[in-house]
Structure 1
Amino acid sequence: MSECCLLWRMAASNNEDSTDLVAREAISYACAHGMVMALPAAPPLPETLTHAPFCLRASRFDASAFALAVRTAPLFSKLIHRMAMAGPEFLARELDEASQHDSFTARLLACYLDAANHPRGLAQPVSLGLHRFDYFMAKGRGEMDQSVVLQQVELNTIASSFGCLGTRASHLHEFVHQLEGSQVDWDHPENRADEALSDALAKAHGLWLKRHSQDSSKEVQVIFVVQPGERNRFDQDILRHLLLARHRIRSVRLSLSEIASKGRLSSDVDRALEIETGPSAALVSVVYFRAGYGPGDYVSEACWQARVLMENSTAIKCPSLSYQLLGAKKIQQILCDPEVLTRFADSPKDAQLMRDCFASQWSLSAKPEAATSTRAAIQLALDNPHAFVLKPQREGGGNNLYEADLKKALLTMSADELASHILMSRIEPIAVDNTIVRNGKIVSGQVVGELGIFGTFLGDTQNGDIFLNETAGYLLRSKLATVDDGGVAAGVAVLDSPQLVNMGLH
């Protein structure tokens, strides 16, 4: 086990103002309550920790927009499940063009199709989703429109992070509010995302135990699939610790490379996943992916074989390959088609509620029959590049193209390359005043907040059984209004929480 030390600095001065003093107390609170991240360190130096970056006070967020995001989370979770139930034919058809021009999407799709078409059938039809649905609070669409609307940025179906540190950011803002003795009306929603996420993992573990006989001499564990050198490991470890403290379920962190060397199926008959985690092998009930969402995680062919091994096992995956693929930008784009959305929604009313959150999106298909619509979409963006964003089939932040980069891509990429992207109208989020605290330094200014609502879902994609579908807390990440793309782990956004207010006409 590596050594670690905790590092935070905030220069003291004789003329500190109230913001400096509050920031000092907030940093102390963050460190004392585990709201920390690792700083890069090269062996043999010890791992160094610092407080996770945060907004000093809760940011104002429209109460009605927040309520709509909470209300629609179970609808989106069920929508993902229903699309998964449509089977491999649906995903193969809808991702055909994207996979032709994006090798990573193609490999994921091929692995899924192989597992779905296994001679003995899909080893585990139950999927666990710890989803996060991300939104901006934006101005109404008309020039004179003073309303506030909720605009969805994306659906996250894999490695939806910061549920635990985000919960601690909510607690930090409660502390700051008490510290300052503010008399301002305080509507600050409770956040128990950390407990809800651990409870969902435990429910999947319990379902696996109920459905699968196992060797009583072997321990049954949950695997967290992680990236080597993960800076955000404490967000993951808090979840692991809650899983043990609340449910007495042990878990282990392993990279794809480690799973490749330590994992195996117990037999071709029962297809249980076994992992060498000590003197003897442990059985695996749930595989929780906090890695595997980008090509950089698959550093060797062995990593891909590890992914195939897990998908072909009886372990419940979070997410399964079908759930992961349904988070692709191309799938989100086709959901803007009312016919597609209505097909998978429970009711026209539910479909309308979800549709009201969508920003406009366009396919850039290279198919001959789509030539006219693709040319029209490209011309729209070239005429006003500020109003659009070009998105590839990637997760993790920092991949989108804006303004000059967007225009250059539209003019220089081949038709096939563009076909693996989608074009989306750029959301203009409402900015609010706040103070950012990062590595002991404070910067005040206007920030925009991206609200993520967690949804926990456990269901069987073959018979349609649903065992869990709940809203599971929230995450607010804010960044300076002048910044385009990137999250907390990328060093751009900071942890925040919402102070609910009425910000416009509804």
Structure 2
Amino acid sequence: MSNGQAERFVDTFKRTTYRTTPSESLNAKSPAQMFLGRKIRTTFDLQKPKPKQPIILGESSTSLGPNLRDLEVFVEYAKFWAHKIGLVVHHKEHYDKKDAAVIKSFSLFPSPFPRRLFEQAKKVQTAMNLLYFRVSQDFDFLIETLQPLAETTEHIRVWLELLREVKSEGVHQPINLLLIRSDYMCHVNNGEATEKNDYELKQVEVNIGNYGGAGYASHLTQFHRKMMETAGRNVLAGTLPDNGSDEQLAEALYEAWKLFGDPKAIMLIVANKYNRTFEMSHIDQILIKLAKNDNHQIQIVIFSLAECVERLTLDEDNFSLRLDGQIVGVVHLKTTCFKPTPEQIASRRMIERSTAIKCPTAAADLASMKKVQQVLAKPGVLERFFPNSDDAELIAALRPTFAEMWALDKEDEHTKSIIKDATENPMKYVLKPSQEGGGHNFWGEEIGEKLRTFTKEELAAHILMQRLRPMVGKNYLVHSFRDVKFTATTSELSTFGYLLGNGRENTVSHNVSKGHMMRTKPEHINEGGVIAGEGVHDSPFLI
């Protein structure tokens, strides 16, 4: 598309105005539906459009009929804009070359999400940060909770052994940095949304340290504002909320580096080649800019965990970590090893025993397991981490966000009753592995089959979770080299935050909630993550 064509394209779509208010019904049309229902001009026809009946909503972009070409050109412009602002990923067939980039999958328009629940998720984030900081300091709780999983889950067994070693030897760096992404759905009670109170914010999972999306999410907000503008929609301030997801991640790492106290210390990013993304480069540039603003220079290096064993050394006298002789101040681990090699274990052990500020520590890694999430949802457990009367407000904010979850590691009557109900009514549940990382869940009739055939150890390594019924919207889903579809969708909202605290003194210097992300998938797809290939990145359109 030439610059002249792009200008005429933008002019074509800036013909109508869309305004909404926060008080409008949740049943109001989404931006995508409003785009589909309006008169669409042929892209390069600059004559005044003639009145035409709205297009009837359909299940795919084919419902545009003779105006399908307009959608195609709009999508072409969207892809052009995605490349322009860096909404791209490495080509999967040339990942190690870094020469080719394709668009990151995205929704053409932002998707509706209840403003009340969005604000609830943002507000509860600092309480969530504090909860997982305290959980990560309670080694006894983590060992007791996760030991049953060690027999079937190798990396949990390895990290528990490392945790015991650190506990015995003593923690050499009390400062902890927790980067936290909390994922939620807008759950609809009874399957229908008829009143405002039918919508509930329910947590899907918590990710600590090694999560994706923060570098792209702010780009999505920018992208969707441009798409709404291009389609002639004047969005009220606050409907597409500001997004500082990339800034909070860079800010957190920079604050940790400053707190380490050595301006010559380097920052080590541990990532394999599949984690070395354009997103990482974007965050690095923000980090460098923050340092320059303070007249600092910060050196950032990237190695895989296996490479670290050859480059890292640990001083057994003062436990300083060095990379080729240089002091390491902060280690950001962006890789998860489900089957760690001896080299990876050796590297992680050096890092864990060192004075470098780690994100995450092995304890924080273990705290992000779904098994821990399930135990925290049990009555009375939050009180272990918030024992004071002043903490009642935090508990009251956290508890309503927890979905119902059930452990399968006991053989009591209650567990047998839950297993029986899940076998007979599988559509009420999701069967999930206790380790973090997403995916590998069981749905529908698979649940009964697995519950009947799992060994005792395999049952202990899984949890049953209430199946959430997310609010359904409609949107265009755009993937590289695939047809664009207008389809029924469900979305998952994520909020970002970070906490810097001293575990030895039980003090917190920074507790921040900043930034958000949304991912959307076709309604009929169960495992619909972006990496899985069906989901797309999105932005919340607050209603």
Question: Does the 8 Å CA contact 2:424/2:448 hold for their aligned counterparts?
Answer: no
Q: Would you say 1:193 and 2:245 are equivalent positions?
A: yes
- Structure-2 separation of matches of 1:196 and 1:401: 34
Map residues 17-166 of structure 1 onto 2, 5 A cutoff: 17-41=69-93, 47-86=99-138, 88-118=139-169, 121-141=170-190, 146=195, 147-166=198-217
The residue number in structure 2 matching 1:504 is none
Structure 1 letter corresponding to 2:208: T
Partner of 1:317: helix, strand, or coil? strand
Select which of 385, 396, 404 maps to 1:360. Answer: 404
Kept after mapping to 2: 8 A contact 1:40/1:47: no
Equivalent residue, structure 2, for 1:338: 379
Instruction: Measure how far apart 1:143 and its partner are.
Output: 6.5
Could you tell me which residue of structure 2 aligns to residue 271 of structure 1? 319
State how far apart, in whole Å, the 1-side matches of 2:282 and 2:451 are: 43
* CA distance in structure 1 between the aligned counterparts of 2:486 and 2:185, rounded to whole angstroms: 21
What residue identity is the alignment partner of 1:203? Answer: E
TM-score (norm 1): 0.88
The one-letter code sitting in structure 1 at the alignment partner of 2:522 is: L
CA distance in 2, matches of 1:376, 1:483: 29
Match of 1:179 in 2: 230
Please tell me whether the aligned partners of residues 370 and 436 of structure 2 are also in contact (alpha carbons under 8 angstroms). Answer: no
Distance 1:145 1:97, change over 3 A: farther
**Which residue identity is paired with 2:282?**
I
**Does the 8 A contact of 1:41 with 1:48 survive in 2?**
no
Residue 447 (structure 1) shift: 1.2
User: Which secondary structure does the structure 2 equivalent of 1:101 belong to?
Assistant: coil
The answer to whether residue 294 in structure 2 is matched with residue 251 in structure 1 is no
Q: Quick check: 466-475 or 433-442, which moved more?
A: 433-442
Q: Which amino acid is 1:26 matched to? A: A
C-alpha distance in structure 2 between counterparts of 1:395 and 1:237, whole Å: 25
**Does 1:223 pair with 2:272?**
no
| Amino acid in the other structure paired with 1:295 | F
Structure 1 residues 144 and 318: CA distance shift in structure 2, 3 A: closer
Task: Provide the residue aligned with 2:426 in structure 1.
Answer: 385
Secondary structure of the structure 1 residue equivalent to 2:517: strand
- Counterpart of 1:306 (choices 347, 354, 369) is 347
Which of 283, 294, 298 aligns to 1:239? It is: 283
State the distance in 2 between where 1:365 and 1:447 align.
35
Distance in 2 between the 1:243 and 1:144 partners? 43
Q: Matches of 1:92 and 1:141 in 2, distance apart?
A: 38
Q: CA deviation at 1:190?
A: 0.3
Q: Distance in 1 between matches of 2:250 and 2:187?
A: 32
Give matches, 1:313-352, under 5 Å. Answer: 313-345=354-386, 347-352=391-396
TM-align CA RMSD: 2.1
Task: Determine the C-alpha separation between the residues in 1 that align with 2:316 and 2:77.
Answer: 57
Q: Matches of 1:348 and 1:164 in 2, distance apart?
A: 34
Deviations 1:328-365 (A, max 9, x none): 11111111122111221362222122111111100111
Larger radius of gyration: 2
Q: Which residue does 1:376 correspond to in 2?
A: 417
Farther-moved stretch of structure 1 (173-182 vs 15-24): 15-24
1:462 aligns with 2:514: no
TM-superposed CA distance for 1:429, in Å, is 0.6
- AA partner of residue 151 (structure 1): K
Judged with a 3 Å threshold, the aligned counterparts in structure 2 of structure 1 residues 52 and 44 are, in CA distance, closer, same or farther, namely closer
Paired residues, what number?
A: 468
- Which amino acid is the alignment partner of residue 153 of structure 2? D
Q: Which residue of 2 aligns with 1:295?
A: 338
Q: Deviations over 1:26-65 (max 9, x none)?
A: 1111111111111223599764210100001110000001
8 Å CA contact 2:215, 2:245 repeated in 1: yes
For 1:454, give the aligned amino acid.
Answer: F
Residues 1:46 and 1:206: Cα distance change in structure 2 (over 3 Å) = closer
1:436 to 469, 477, 494: 477
Q: Is the partner of 2:412 in helix, strand or coil?
A: helix
Q: What amino acid maps onto 2:227 in structure 1?
A: V
2:450 corresponds to which residue? 409
Matches of 1:242 and 1:164, distance apart in 2: 10
In the superposition, the TM-score normalised over structure 2's length comes to: 0.82
* Offset, 1:476: 0.5
Task: State the 1:249 CA deviation.
Answer: 2.1
Mean Cα deviation higher: 141-150 or 426-435:
141-150
Please give the alpha-carbon distance, in whole angstroms, between the structure 2 residues aligned to 1:448 and 1:307.
38
Which 5+ residue runs of structure 1 have no aligned equivalent?
A: 1-11, 502-506
Identity %: 28
Shift of 1:226: 0.9
Whether contact under 8 Å (2:228, 2:234) holds in the other structure is: no
Aligned to 1:445: 487
Q: Whole-Å Cα distance in 2 between the matches of residues 81 and 383 of structure 1?
A: 39
Q: Deviations over 1:393-415 (max 9, x none)?
A: 22222221111222221111111
- Which consecutive residues of structure 2, in runs of 5 or more, have no partner in the other structure? 1-42, 45-65, 292-296
- Partner Cα separation in structure 1 for residue 249 and residue 98 of structure 2: 31
Task: Using the TM superposition, give the Cα deviation of residue 431 of structure 1 relative to its aligned residue in structure 2, in angstroms.
Answer: 1.2
Are the structure 2 counterparts of residues 43 and 197 from structure 1 closer, same or farther at C-alpha, using a change threshold of 3 Å?
Answer: closer
CA 1:497–1:329 in structure 2 vs 1: closer, same or farther (change >3 Å)? Answer: same
* Partner Cα distance (1:69, 1:482) in 2: 25
Q: 1:208 aligns with which of 233, 247, 260?
A: 260
Call closer, same or farther: CA 1:394–1:492 in 2, change over 3 Å: farther
